[in-house]
Amino acid sequence: MDQSKLKLKITDWAEEDRPREKMLIKGVSALSDAELLAILIGSGNKNETAVELSQRILFSVNNNLNSFGKLSIHDLVQNFNGIGEAKAITIIAALELGKRRKLSDTEKQQLILLSKDVFHMFQPLLGDLRHEESWVLLMNRSNKVLKKILVSKGGITGTVIDIRLIIKEAIENLATNIVLIHNHPSGNPKPSEDDNNITLKLKEACKLLDIYLMDHVIVCGNSYYSYRDNDCIL
């Protein structure tokens, strides 16, 4: 048999090239994304090693970890031979831990001064969602966060925002400054006509009660759009 055509298992690799051993010898930062994923899934299938299967999974999302984070258990099980429900659950759980770590870091900063502060707080919550959600951030006059509230949850193309609910929450929490936040699963951060209309309506409602609408931030994956930064409406 032509030795060049033999397919090696990961256990046949040099020890320093196996993902687990490589991590122990060189540290976790030395591993590629595919090698880290291979450690999670443990084994591949009859045609691929765990690393090769991981490479194929990542290639399917153009090696973009943000896109990878949007895959569901169903996506993984249905599209990749060698990924059963248990492995898919392990992957999704690991991704969720990463999001929660990122979120816990942002929650340490409870003072909102810039649009990027809002983005860093909400990107872990909204960046990977396949549906739209709208949140409101309530603050005092010093821009210290009082509360963040989910005000609506919708489909892929939009959600319905109840301005009365936002105003009610602002009054009950004695908020004087607020920011409206929602996401665009479409990948386009630019505001729609509906986005502009709801921003105008909320601005007018806030004005009547001496509440300041600081910004409306649209989260789109790893980017965002700020009405305030773009001198749009506000």
Rounded Cα distance between 44 and 10, Å, is: 10
Give me the pLDDT at residue 192, please. 93
Answer yes or no: are the C-beta atoms of 182 and 134 closer than 8 Å.
yes
Rounded Cα distance between 176 and 197, Å, is: 22
Which residues are registered as beta bridge partners of 182?
Answer: 134, 218
104-162 pLDDT per residue, tens: 665 555 789 999 999 999 998 999 898 999 999 999 999 999 999 999 988 655 668 89
Give me the pLDDT at residue 215, please. 97
Kindly report the backbone phi and psi dihedral angles of residue 86, in degrees, each rounded to the nearest multiple of 5, phi listed first: -65, -45
H or E, element range at 152: strand 145-153
CATH superfamily membership of 111-226: Cytidine Deaminase, domain 2 (3.40.140.10)
Rounded Cα distance between 44 and 162, Å, is: 48
Residues of the chain falling short of pLDDT 70: 1-17, 104-109, 155-159
- Torsional sign, CA 207, 210, 211, 215: positive
Give me the pLDDT at residue 6, please. 52
Give me the pLDDT at residue 4, please. 43
Q: What angle do CA 123, 124, 130 make, to 5 degrees?
A: 80
Rounded Cα distance between 102 and 186, Å, is: 23
Q: Which two tokens stand for residue 127?
A: 């960046």
Give me the pLDDT at residue 70, please. 85
Beta strands at 212-220 and 177-183: parallel, antiparallel or unpaired: parallel
Rounded Cα distance between 43 and 11, Å, is: 11
Q: 143: helix, coil or strand? A: coil
Give me the pLDDT at residue 60, please. 94
Does this model's pTM top 0.85?
no
Domain ranges of the chain: 10-103, 111-226
Is 223 buried (19+), middle (13-18) or exposed (0-12) by CB count in 10 A? middle
